Structures are given as C-alpha cells and as structure tokens.
Structure 1
Amino acid sequence: MSSPFGSPSPDAAVYVISVAAELTGLHPQTLRAYERMGLIVPGRTGGGGRRYSHRDLERLREIADLTSAGIGIEGVRRIMALELQVDALRARNEELVAELDAVRRGLAARLAQARAQAPTNKLPVLHQSATQSVVVWRRPG
C-alpha cells in the first residue's frame, strides 16, 4: 500500500536481503538467523526471495542495539514480546478512553435535555399510596 505521495507504507516489503543488510549494518546471514529464531518475519516474493519492510528494518536495528548492549537472544525475544504487549495495552487504553468520553458526552447531553424539559413548578414531588393522600401547601412569598 502506498501513501498519496508514492512512497511505500512502513509495512510494504520492498527491500531485498542485501539492501536490508546494508541499511541495518548486519550481515545477510544474521538476518537469516534472526528469521530462523522467529525474531523477524520478512515478506516473500513468488519465487521465495525475502523482502523486508521499513518496519522490519527498524526491528532489526532494535535487535542489533539490544544484542550489542549485551542482551542475549532470549532476552531480546522477551523484550520484544513485552513491547508488543505494551503497544496492545496502549491501543486498548486509547479505545477505552474514547469510549468513556463518548459515554460522558452522551450523559451530559441527556442531562441537559432532561433539565430543559423539567417542569418549572418548584413544589416538591407528591407521593401517594393507596391508603393515604398528602397535600403540600406553599406559603406565598
């Protein structure tokens, strides 16, 4: 999918492995190893060639940064899984905040409507039961 200006979307798999390796500073064998480990899943052409997206390149750079900081592959895998979980929770939180805002706006509108339709009579509401009646008198002034 392209943007209106003709550049590919961040998820468009457009980079061959040699270009992806050059852009990330990693060896093509390292990219293949990360794929075998399940850290990255590049797109494939009809002939089976790997194609990497901009988002894949960002992920590869992040993996390289973490491993160069001394974090092992299992640690990298766990960090990336937690980042995905955090992203999902943020998205869900945004949905809930939007839903709460919509409910608050709806309640405010209903309250305003109810106030506009309320009778102007200031007498208290009278309650009647089957056995008795109540009359409320109000002094003028």
Structure 2
Amino acid sequence: MAEEFIASSTDPAYDAKVLMISVAARMAGMHPQTLRQYDRLGLVQPGRAAGGGRRYSVRDVVLLREVQRLSQDDGVNLAGIKRIIGLEQLLGELQQRVAQLEAELTAAARRVAELEAISAFPRRDLVPTSRTSTALVVWRPRRSGRD
C-alpha cells in the first residue's frame, strides 16, 4: 500500500503526517527507536499528535529509507547524511526558484513584445538594431526678421 503512495509524490496524502511511529518504522524497515534517534538528530522532522506522539508522512518514510541506504550501502555517517539531505533540500528549493524566475522572464518578454506590437512608434532603444543611417541632415539657423 505504501508503495502506491511512494510512486505518486504529487498526491496530497504524500505529505500528510498521519503515520504512527510503529507503522512508519515498519514501512521503513527500521526499529521505532531508530526513528526517535533520527528525529533527535534532525534527520527527519515528524509532526506531533495532540498527545505528543510522533506522526510521519509517506515522504518521511521515503527519507528514512534513503537514510538507511546511504548509511548501510554507501557507508555514509549520520553527520554526512544530514548534510546530504540539507543540500538536496536546498537544491530542490533553488530549482523551484529558477523555474519561477524563468516563468517571470518569459512573461516579461511576452509583455515587451505585446507593447511593441501595439505601439505606433516602437522604441528602437529597447531592441538593438543593425540599421545605420547614411542620411545627411543640413541645418540652417533661422534668420531673425531684423536683417
């Protein structure tokens, strides 16, 4: 059942902190005491029930499995795992920010194009132009009527 949720991280239930520690531990393949230790170390941040008990989400279970994999398979210590998790979270936030800025840039470029299309005299100083003029302008001062 958890595998279905794990595969669909876009599901709102993925982040719901509803799993008791015993259920989350079983899903992650760990002892509940290990989850308590990871909470104290800041590797995972469970929610709290009204009585103070820890509540985990499916996202937390996925994170716990990743902690276990890094520790057992790759030999990374808990301090290294905490750093890896923090950097991965930062990377995700930065990727979201880049996507947001790209969307804003696209919208701004679209707006500039719209404004240039409706203007009777488009401003050439906004867009570089390769046309150079070879016209010669002759200027003569006006004569005053007293001459």
Q: Please state which band the TM-score falls in when normalised by the shorter chain.
A: 0.7 to 0.9
Alpha-carbon displacement from aligned partner over 1:51-102 (angstroms, at most 9, x marks no partner): 1111111111111111112000011011011101101110110111001001
State the partner residue of 1:86. Answer: 91
Give the distance between the partners of 1:50 and 1:80, measured in 2 at CA: 20
Pairwise CA distance, 1:132: 2.9
Structure 1 runs, 4 residues or longer, greater than 4 Å off:
none
Give the alignment's TM-score, normalised by structure 2.
Answer: 0.73
Give the distance between the partners of 1:8 and 1:87, measured in 2 at CA: 18
Aligned equivalent of 1:49, options 45, 50, 53? 53
State the partner residue of 1:100. Answer: 105
State the partner residue of 1:16. Answer: 20
Give the distance between the partners of 2:141 and 2:68, measured in 1 at CA: 84
State the partner residue of 1:132. Answer: 141
Write the letter of the residue equivalent to 1:21.
A
By relative contact order (CA 8 Å, sep 6+), the higher-ranking structure is 2
Are 1:75 and 2:80 an aligned pair? Answer: yes
Unaligned runs of at least 5 residues, structure 2: 1-10, 122-132, 143-147
Unaligned runs of at least 5 residues, structure 1: 1-6, 119-123, 134-141
